[in-house]
Amino acid sequence: MKTLQVFTAIALLSGCTVVRIGREPLMDAPPEPAGEIRFMALRGEHPDRLADGYSLTVMKNLSIVGTYDSSSTEPTTIEKLPPGRYDISISGRAISTQSTQIRVRPGQATVVRLMVRNARQLAALGDAALTAGKVLLYSVGYAVYGIVWVCLHVCDGDDDDDEEECSVSSHGKAGHRSPHPGTVSTYRKKK
């Protein structure tokens, strides 16, 4: 301690500016008021027609804060959230998972609305279209397979006639074609 006093006296006598740094305990800063998220799955655009069966997952800094289900009677409220940015994802029946980022402000409610108008009907139509597409694809596949199978058996059934070749025209009909009368292939030359 005497060294500091001697150093201060020498600094003052030499014309230097002395800065004194002290440490004091900080008073606790008043906490920022918490915010909240209100989640509503709406059937249509009317806030009085809520739907259940959807879930909201809330994440902060890659950690899951919680997963909350929608209610058909009242908005789902997630309270006492520290202010800041949150990642949310919404999933449920007849919708693909939707993700976004929201900001929770101190002392305010951030409202997340999911419009699920006709989601069930669209899902049913999507399933019907998928089934119809599969039926059509399998039908065409079996028809092509049948045509190829018939053509191969028609060509293979013609083994006893060496001078004729089997060909399939662009119309899918099997036909016979004779070699050009003036040519003789190398494997059929007569000695």
Q: Which carries the bigger pLDDT value, residue 3 or residue 120?
A: 3
**Mean pLDDT for the chain?**
76
What separation in angstroms does the CA of 14 have from each of 7, 8, 9, 53, 71? 11, 10, 9, 79, 77
Q: Is-contact 132 121, C-beta < 8 A?
A: no
> What are the φ/ψ torsions at residue 75 (nearest 5 degrees)?
-65, 145
CATH of 35-117, one of 3.90.1150.10, 3.40.50.1820, 2.60.40.10, 3.40.50.920: 2.60.40.10
Confirm whether pTM is higher than 0.75. Answer: no
What separation in angstroms does the CA of 135 have from each of 56, 74, 122, 143, 148? 36, 43, 20, 12, 20
The answer to which of 6-15, 19-28, 86-95, 108-117 has the lowest mean pLDDT is 6-15
The tokens describing 140, both together, are 């065409």
pLDDT of 59 strictly over 90:
yes
Q: Is-contact 56 79, C-beta < 8 A?
A: no
Q: Which carries the bigger pLDDT value, residue 93 or residue 113?
A: 113
